[in-house]
Chain A
Amino acid sequence: GNSVTQMEGPVTLSEEAFLTINCTYTATGYPSLFWYVQYPGEGLQLLLKATKADDKGSNKGFEATYRKETTSFHLEKGSVQVSDSAVYFCALSRRNNNDMRFGAGTRLTVKP
């Protein structure tokens, strides 16, 4: 079945450090891939997405590239800020399937 595996957290970084959160997936067909972010006390918000192989999603300095050959969609940011502290979820969805699958989430804490 379809599934998403994320690197386990928590991740603690200093401000301006480089961030990578690993995400790999298992799916039949050609899924769309997403990163969502959840701030304390809030619901998930879409951060970025990619719908086909080699697509790069980007938003707010975050980037992720859809790598079909390695079935990965790693999230990166060159210089994190304290305001980036949140839980990040990788997810996949197939076009003809209503079941979006989420990873377990990775908690990021950025210290000044």
Chain B
Amino acid sequence: NAGVTQTPKFRVLKTGQSMTLLCAQDMNHEYMYWYRQDPGMGLRLIHYSVGEGTTAKGEVPDGYNVSRLKKQNFLLGLESAAPSQTSVYFCASSYSQGQPQHFGDGTRLSIL
């Protein structure tokens, strides 16, 4: 069972470069989420989506954009990467609000 798949697993960028992280889920979940994980801070919600074609801001949305063109995919974009965006990024999905979330294995992103 694939569950939630994130690509790439690792990436190094230079300040100012752009990139897109891809998340795909095969569980037919309506809800999808992007988090960042930083030491001592747990996970913080960047953006989320409650269905195909919808997106909304989370706790720390600045510097990121997202798109949900297909139900199974949720893309996270960095238009102009900054060193403060060095982090581990996790995608998650859930069947509905308040339900347990299923996580991918993460993308480790370093901005030099």
User: Residues on A close to B: CB < 8 A?
Assistant: 4, 32, 34, 36, 41-46, 49, 89, 93-100, 102-105
Contact = CB atoms under 8 A, between A and B. Distances in A.
Interface of B: 4, 31, 33, 40-45, 48, 50, 56, 58-59, 90, 92, 97-106
Given A43-B105, A46-B101, 20 more contacts: A32-B98, A42-B106, A44-B90, A44-B92, A93-B97, A93-B98, A93-B99, A94-B98, A96-B98, A98-B31, A98-B33, A98-B56, A98-B97, A99-B48, A99-B58, A100-B33, A100-B101, A102-B43, A102-B44, A104-B42
Given A42-B105, A100-B45, A34 B40 contact: no
A104 B56 contact: no
A99 B104 CA distance: 18
Contacts of A45: 103
